[in-house]
Structure 1
């Protein structure tokens, strides 16, 4: 959720990482925002080192920065890697379409993970399922020679609920429509493009491995098949378990509406679910009942009042009532409301989260219910790496934008017309590399962020959705496995593979990444934002999946079955019985 989808016009709720393709703020506006927040750069560094580490120490004047050229170099290994992607393009796009067809939700990507792992096994990788205890997470490893350096790639493959859409259709046309006379809905769909994300990353990893073997280049390539990105669970927990230890660099991408990279940051985030417990009863005789739904509605209403005086420009607060009862004539005994609380750093998230928790307690008191909450995920803001972005950009510039066909542009225009947007098609350029805005204005979040505090990390976006479109929409699902997605997945694979080869064949480039990482993190000690004793949510896999992947259930890091949530509340008292009138 995703959540960082167009970082650089790449907001992955994956979030926005201070757009590399976006407009720069004027100096006057910068000072206004700094004044409004009541901070200075020095104060920020002292009070919140995580935010300071993610910022540039020097504010570039608009137009003063020029991206360096000549960082990306041609080499036999790079030519082989890019050639492998070209010659295997049908296999690559076929994997994207296969995962798109499955459209499996977070923590339940049974078929999708098996398909991606199988692709890498055929490329010579050793695959092991059950990374960090997650059934659908896996680590694929290829090593040649001394096995150094060690490069990591990130693969995601979860879909989103309610975003089912037939591919290549320019209007809303759900592929899976769930008929219910009281609550019709749509099935899941790849409205964030993770089918393409995992596929392109796997293709890049495979291409680097083939090139290393052919040209006898020492390297270890590790591909991390990650579950539940849309819930920001998979990587945050895996990092806390040491899964990414020992890497020299980590390469990441996300589908976008533009082809761009940059060195901006993202929002830190905590996901929390509040459970209210009341007493059920007949809606026609409601006296004494305790409605858990009333409590959830009151909480939602009160939390909206935080926006004017308690939320800075970087803050985001959004919620959904994910359990509000089943039928109007039964007072809901249990209700749940889930929040994503985002801010520029984990410290700032905690301040806002404490206010949200206080509101839940007020709602429970007012409704005479009981409330409990559980944190389902928590991640840091992303640590950028300018040296990595500059190298990646030089490769993107040399390779060029995705090769969009007339079919891709027409689908984009059809979707833009359907959505009321200018009919301009796909982004068919590589956006210039520009510095991030010096004042972070917030956006989405990514579980890649926790990796970025442990290993030098670079991210980029390749256009998969139309210009002006948004992610987490049916329109993105329409594109993901159609003509736009086919072009994006090949381009993204080439961008990642070319950059990885440069890090292998040019030790000075890898050193620059590591030196910058060391400098940025010198005053910050990363510690997981997950609470002590955290157990990640999981679903029990089907028997066929456990057998195929060689796993046993349950893993040793969770309690199974989970603790039941049962209300034991009493009816509300109305006071002494009234005496009959005489």
Structure 2
């Protein structure tokens, strides 16, 4: 999504025309070569649960499948919800623009979380900050009547580092340029569109609450403002603490390059940081120094050799050296390299992670440094819901694609030109609903996945970024704060609200969705992928934020201050001194 969560990366690949998706083409070309991988996957319980067979459904053939109609109902309650969205359109896009301007990084979304929470408070929700101990996470609840279903919505608001961009600019033009003569860079930006994600989801939750008030529909609407999605921290830990227990249905969306939903799965993932410790010394007299950076570079190099023989087509392995020293004439005493290890299930991630850890130990041995690692997050693959996706698709089909203006399409074509892509603009259709590919080829990950094992969950994407582009780019940040983002928000909020209202006015739909969930999870017990004793990373909030949200510091679930990481390594011996040559 976001990092990690882009529906176009999953099996319900977004199509940009009437042809086959990239995923389908890859499957057709490569299925024979990875048949062994496919057979191994079916033996994995978590991957098997994501298959249609687990729900007692016949594996659908893409060519023969036709999405059912008549699921989405035109009701007074739905018209009320959609009307509320229309009347409050400027407030909703205003919320997006405010969060876009803040562009706050994971775990530090002080102003962004407050803005989203205040929007919901004005809509009649009770707001409580500090969900699962995270200062910027909150739960907003609206209840009408007794005994109604509990419907959850997912909100996010964190930006990405280095993706600052002026809104509506058609070429790379950072809004915040970091001047440093030795290390220039860019400030943070909403290169994954979480400003839009949170704004549309909050608007949908408010619209459903309004429909329940006006039409006396019993319901509890719960909105979960989640921190640090880009690092897959906020929801994975919150699920392990029971935050999402008691829900009947959960609705999720993510900005994308197309308009689509589906019932494919995603990759499980573990994020891990390796810390190498050496001995500092003058670069001009390096003998006996121990370079932690050398160790990190060796690890990065050796881990690349895992790709041919240790990584299936569903696997992903990517890394960044996030601490490599400051100046060349001081041998780096501490260096850190972080990996995202992805595979089709937690068990398969563990197998690959063990190999990555072995590489770290080899690098430490070769460099005479020491190494330790800490897991910062871990999530499951997503459990799909065919029935939920079919209901969402019927609503998307009835409502139609985002109404992108001529200005929005012009910006998209300018961005495509800047990126060397065909100038086709923004996706202007709702992609057909098709079955997931029978051979899972991997892709992105999402911390919504852990929620999907607790409650039936549907995800969809709405076109915010140009066709052919990707999330996690400056071009997405340009769109997220301007016309393309505004249109995507209005469409996404409508899709979410309309689907949720159908669950209220047609309870048989919710019953069917829950029955499929029961079948998929039968005999399989979810257990968090986070390690025993895990403490989530956090930053200490400013005093004004704690006061405004009624929190105290630190929360009970972390050790504060954190334990310091200090090198105790000794200089390396060169052996006995050599006798001088005469």
Structure 2 length-normalised TM: 0.97
Deviations 1:299-351 (Å, cap 9, x if unpaired)? 00000000011100000000000000000000000000000000000000000
* Residue aligning to 2:220: 220
Work out the CA distance in 2 between the residues paired with 1:28 and 1:125: 49
Deviations 1:248-297 (Å, cap 9, x if unpaired)? 00000000000000000000000000000000000000000000000000
State the 4+ residue runs in structure 1 displaced beyond 3 angstroms.
Answer: 25-31
Aligned residue pair count: 572
* Pairing of 1:9-408 with structure 2 (within 5 A): 9=8, 11=9, 16-19=10-13, 21=15, 22-23=21-22, 24=24, 29=29, 31-37=31-37, 39-40=38-39, 44-45=41-42, 47-57=43-53, 58-408=58-408
Work out the CA distance in 1 between the residues paired with 2:34 and 2:162: 39
Work out the CA distance in 2 between the residues paired with 1:406 and 1:308: 46
Work out the CA distance in 1 between the residues paired with 2:25 and 2:511: 32
> Could you tell me how far 1:195 is from its partner in structure 2?
0.1
Work out the CA distance in 2 between the residues paired with 1:6 and 1:145: 36
Deviations 1:400-422 (Å, cap 9, x if unpaired)? 01111000000000000110111
Work out the CA distance in 2 between the residues paired with 1:90 and 1:35: 51
27 and 243 in structure 1: CA distance in 2 versus 1, 3 angstrom threshold = closer
Work out the CA distance in 1 between the residues paired with 2:27 and 2:6: 24
353 and 26 in structure 1: CA distance in 2 versus 1, 3 angstrom threshold = closer
> Could you tell me how far 1:6 is from its partner in structure 2?
3.2
Work out the CA distance in 1 between the residues paired with 2:334 and 2:435: 48
SS at structure 1 position matched to 2:411: helix
SS at structure 1 position matched to 2:52: coil
Work out the CA distance in 2 between the residues paired with 1:62 and 1:215: 40
Work out the CA distance in 2 between the residues paired with 1:193 and 1:339: 23
> Any conservation in 1 of the 2:165–2:176 contact (CA below 8 Å)?
yes
SS at structure 1 position matched to 2:297: helix
* Residue aligning to 2:457: 457
Work out the CA distance in 2 between the residues paired with 1:36 and 1:416: 39
Structure 1 length-normalised TM: 0.97
Work out the CA distance in 1 between the residues paired with 2:512 and 2:25: 28
> Any conservation in 2 of the 1:73–1:502 contact (CA below 8 Å)?
yes
> Could you tell me how far 1:524 is from its partner in structure 2?
1.4
User: Given the alignment of the two structures, is residue 467 of structure 1 paired with residue 461 of structure 2, yes or no?
Assistant: no
Work out the CA distance in 2 between the residues paired with 1:190 and 1:363: 36
> Any conservation in 2 of the 1:267–1:442 contact (CA below 8 Å)?
yes
> Any conservation in 1 of the 2:14–2:259 contact (CA below 8 Å)?
no
> Could you tell me how far 1:481 is from its partner in structure 2?
1.3
Work out the CA distance in 1 between the residues paired with 2:218 and 2:33: 48
Work out the CA distance in 2 between the residues paired with 1:93 and 1:450: 29
Work out the CA distance in 1 between the residues paired with 2:28 and 2:425: 35
* Residue aligning to 2:415: 415
Work out the CA distance in 1 between the residues paired with 2:390 and 2:63: 16
Work out the CA distance in 1 between the residues paired with 2:107 and 2:216: 38
Work out the CA distance in 1 between the residues paired with 2:173 and 2:27: 46
Work out the CA distance in 2 between the residues paired with 1:283 and 1:252: 52
Work out the CA distance in 2 between the residues paired with 1:396 and 1:338: 39
28 and 112 in structure 1: CA distance in 2 versus 1, 3 angstrom threshold = closer
> Could you tell me how far 1:479 is from its partner in structure 2?
0.2
SS at structure 2 position matched to 1:470: coil
> Could you tell me how far 1:94 is from its partner in structure 2?
0.3
> Could you tell me how far 1:512 is from its partner in structure 2?
1.0
> Any conservation in 1 of the 2:14–2:258 contact (CA below 8 Å)?
no
> Could you tell me how far 1:31 is from its partner in structure 2?
4.8
> Any conservation in 1 of the 2:314–2:442 contact (CA below 8 Å)?
yes
Deviations 1:63-94 (Å, cap 9, x if unpaired)? 10000000000111100000000000000000
Work out the CA distance in 2 between the residues paired with 1:181 and 1:338: 26
127 and 74 in structure 1: CA distance in 2 versus 1, 3 angstrom threshold = same
Work out the CA distance in 2 between the residues paired with 1:286 and 1:579: 21
SS at structure 1 position matched to 2:251: strand
* Residue aligning to 2:18: none
Work out the CA distance in 2 between the residues paired with 1:503 and 1:131: 26
> Could you tell me how far 1:61 is from its partner in structure 2?
2.7
> Could you tell me how far 1:523 is from its partner in structure 2?
2.5
> Any conservation in 2 of the 1:268–1:346 contact (CA below 8 Å)?
yes
Work out the CA distance in 1 between the residues paired with 2:465 and 2:511: 35
> Could you tell me how far 1:579 is from its partner in structure 2?
1.4
> Could you tell me how far 1:56 is from its partner in structure 2?
2.4
SS at structure 2 position matched to 1:128: strand
Work out the CA distance in 2 between the residues paired with 1:281 and 1:334: 12
> Any conservation in 1 of the 2:278–2:290 contact (CA below 8 Å)?
yes
Work out the CA distance in 2 between the residues paired with 1:381 and 1:17: 12
List runs of 5+ in structure 2 lacking aligned partners: 16-20
